[in-house]
Amino acid sequence: MKVVAILAFSLLVTLASAQGNYKKVCYFANWAYYRNGVGQYGTDKLDPFECTHLIYGFAVLDGTTYEMKVYDSWVDIDLGGYQTFTSLKIRNPSLKTLIALGGWNDSAFTTQYSELVSDPAKMANFVEKAVIFIRQYNFDGLDFDWEYPGDPGTPEDKENFITLLRLLRQAFEPYNLLLTMAPSCSPARAEVSYNIPALAEVVDFVNFMAYDIHGAWENTVDHHAPFYRRDFEQGMEGAVIVTEAVDYWLDHGMPPEKLILGLPSYGRSYRLADPSQTSLLSAAIGAGPQGPYTGQDGFISLYEMCTNQQNGWSVVTDPTGAMGPYSFSDISWVSWDDIDMTITKVKYAMSKGLGGIMFWELSLDDYLGVCNMGPRPFSNAITATLEGRPFDTSTPAPTARPSTTPTPPPITCTNNGEYYADPSDCRKYYQCVFGVINVYYCPTSLAFNSNIDQCDWPYNVPGCY
């Protein structure tokens, strides 16, 4: 039995590290732990074989010492967030785990990063302490998410940022640590913030944030990740389009294998000024209402969106394929990339020779199976496409297939989202989703472990070895 388990483990590691020979980079947001009910999502729900690279968001910059520091010591340290996250490598040695620094909340409205890169002494200290931080918590590298050099800040930020990255690269090399960064996809932003040829030399890869192009900060509704230029954008200067943004970075010196195309597993929402005016570019008066679980104005997860559709929201799909769908109900309007658009974008990235796919963010995928495409359809569609396999949106993914047996499950739903092991079949398990009992099977040679709510090696599950 041990031999079979080892062979199965080796096969899974090979698949997880391959993803069709592309990178699959997945972010995890530590604040998802605080969501209510079934929306609560911690590191205990992560699958070590789902992605080739996992990035933990976020560490932050101390505004006094200009050093990396833990953002949420309770979730990250006391509850073992960092430890559980990096320990996933025990089960999948091919997995790489990185810590992200910065992000929107920490860097978009402050000059502290500009102050850091303007002072050689601050940079030298930052680099020294960053290496200690990353090694202390067993990460494999740093994802630098400064949003954005030069705004706010100074014009010198663009080159000073490169200086800091070069210092980090040099300090990382003895420990084989990865160095990545996440830029805006706006070409206008790139002109201000990024020396693309220099970035290409110093970072291992770039997590290209090809989303949040439009949102409730504007006074008209629009799709937040338009793929191709739409009719109304023909001849329009300054329009940000995903395909054109990719071409801009490639044309300005970023090797395609270092560019990782970012996809959103969420939607951006607005409040309509007039509920009867729902088409693109209709007037908006702010952010759409919060999702019941994510609890953020102007923002909604994939599984919350599927629930909306099941509750009668109208859905409009672009027949030209230039963008994903949008939907609306009463005063609410939301745009997102559905699974079909996700697959289209993955195929596009492959056709351009890009290094793979990144997405924001794991807790926003439909891990509950609400969308009736099996758990994690967004992530599974990406993997299947990268590996050259079709993804059937009408049925769950093959690694977590529902049972066809008519025998009623030997459980009673009490808690929404809860998992239950089958008492007589080690591979079989159940999940309650809004009162419905879904039945799943672990892959051959694995067993469901109730302690971690994941498929595991049988010798870790009492009675299954």
For residues 148 and 155, give the distance between their C-alpha atoms in angstroms, rounded to a whole number: 11
Q: What φ, ψ does residue 241 adopt, rounded to 5°?
A: -125, 135
CA dist list (Å): 234 to 220, 247, 254: 18, 17, 26
What would the two tokens of residue 274 be? 């007039």
Map the chain to HEC letters.
CHHHHHHHHHHHHHHHHHHHHCEEEEEEEHHHHHCCHHHCCCHHHCCCCCCCEEEEEEEEECCCCCCEECCCHHHHHHCCHHHHHHHHHHHCCCCEEEEEEECHHHHCCCCHHHHHHCCHHHHHHHHHHHHHHHHHCCCCEEEEECCCCCCCCCCCHHHHHHHHHHHHHHHHHHHCCEEEECCECCHHHHHHHCCHHHHHHHCCEEEEECCCCCCCCCCECCCCCCCCCCHHHCCCCCCCCHHHHHHHHHHCCCCHHHEEEEEECEEEEEEECCCCCCCCCCEEEEECCCCCCCCCCCEEEHHHHHHHHHCCCEEECCCCCCCCCEEEECCEEEECCCHHHHHHHHHHHHHCCCCEEEEECHHHCCCCCCCCCCCCHHHHHHHHHHCCCCCCCCCCCHHHCECCCCCCCCCCCCCCCCEEECCCCCCEEEEEECCEEEEEECCCCCEEECCCCEEECHHHCCCCC
Phi and psi dihedrals of 53, rounded to 5? -135, 130
Strand duo 284-287 + 436-441: pairing: unpaired
Active site residues: 147
